[in-house]
Structure 1
């Protein structure tokens, strides 16, 4: 019975991951994603965009030897808009966008043994949606006053609060990625320091024992007195 429950939980977990992956890159939705890029592999993601919008892409390598990947963005027409090589992070803006699927690729083929953990965020800004929201606000009516506030003032205030909250969320996500990257760097550096400290200690002990042995050999009189 316990085995059956574990299998059911695993299936539900897989379904949740698939649904989140599908929703993460749906059009008109900001998304962030962290994935493991194997050695000698290339991973590409697709983001749907509308005409005359904008896409902001920010990425960071948060774990892996070298902390670097190759990055590229390809337009729906197959044109390489952005290409970077052996970079650990970057921020890029594509505007105005074409209608179609943009290809976001991370390349680790130059590394034969080391896998990389990559975090990236896609921020969508669609002017058509903003216009639709404005039309909805405009169609609510034309009251002279609403609790001594104009409808336009309320809309501007709510839009400002929404933008600031969204920007705060994005900054917190980026700071978490920076924290994970710094932690991995510290752990990697700690391992290196510990390893080379042990090597230096072994070398010092070997040198000390060699010196003691050499000095004792110098004072060791091997001559024998014949009777």
Structure 2
């Protein structure tokens, strides 16, 4: 009897682990990077995106001068979607209207002697589960609901860790 209870507990743990893994494999692409932006310079990043894809950009200057940069985003036809001057940090979200290469640029051309360190987080795509049965409204088991809750909380923890890491890097430089 004890062996069958232990086996049952082991099977439940395996099921819970697999459920958590399969429920939270999503098709979201992202890039997080920190780069140096020399004085009197501009640096651009390019991403090819399909039509009707949502993308999000977050950036923060974590070192250098007044902690500010100029930034802009253009679509494949070179239309300006976002343009801000001397920002220390900002966020921008957009859903693409056409397929093509989108450009995200940061400029430090106004600075004559101060390099900047910039953190960039670029995410695109929808959080769609790979399991096709989970695409519509579905009744979840208690274990699946727990996995979803854990996943959401872990996303908040990861975002908080990034925020604290950036704040610590910013404070260390100032």
What is the TM-score when the length of structure 2 is the normalising length? Answer: 0.72
Please give the alpha-carbon distance, in whole angstroms, between the structure 2 residues aligned to 1:56 and 1:88. 17
- Residues 161 and 76 of structure 1, relative CA distance in 2, 3 Å threshold: farther
1:112-143 per-residue CA deviation (whole Å, 9 max, x = no partner) reads 1111010111122326xx1x6351547xxxxx
- In structure 2, what is the Cα distance between the partners aligned to 1:159 and 1:86? 39
Cα deviation for residue 79 of structure 1 reads 1.1
Q: Distance in 1 between matches of 2:76 and 2:148?
A: 31
CA distance in 2, matches of 1:70, 1:89: 10
Could you tell me which of 139, 144, 147 is aligned with 1:158?
A: 147
Say which structure is richer in strand.
2
Measure the CA separation in 1 of the matches of 2:48 and 2:153.
Answer: 25
Unaligned runs of 5+ in 2: 1-26
Superposed CA RMSD: 2.5
Write the distance in 2 (CA, Å) between the matches of 1:126 and 1:97: 16
Q: What is the distance in 2 between the residues matched to 1:163 and 1:49? A: 26
| Equivalent residue number for residue 88 of structure 1 | 88
Question: Within 5 Å, which residues of 2 pair with 1:38-187?
Answer: 38-96=38-96, 98-126=98-126, 130=128, 133-137=130-134, 152-153=140-141, 155-185=144-174
Q: TM-score w.r.t. structure 1 length? A: 0.56
Residues 20-75 of structure 1 show CA distances to partners (whole Å, capped at 9, x for unaligned) of xxxxxxx9422210000011010001123333221111111111112110011111
Alignment partners' CA distance in 1, 2:75 and 2:90: 18
Q: Which runs of 4+ in 1 moved over 6 A?
A: none
Asked if the contact 1:28–1:49 (Cα under 8 Å) also holds between the matched residues in 2, the reply is: no
Q: Note if contact 2:50-2:96 (Cα within 8 Å) is conserved in structure 1.
A: no
Query: In structure 1, what is the Cα distance between the partners aligned to 2:146 and 2:117?
Result: 39
Deviation at 1:84, TM superposition (A): 0.4
- CA distance in 2 between counterparts of 1:67 and 1:111 reads 11
> Which protein shows a greater Rg?
1
Residues of 2 paired with 1:135 and 1:158: CA distance?
17
For CA contacts below 8 A with separation 6 or more, give which structure has more relative contact order: 2
Q: 1:192 maps to what in 2?
A: none
SS in 1 for 2:114: coil
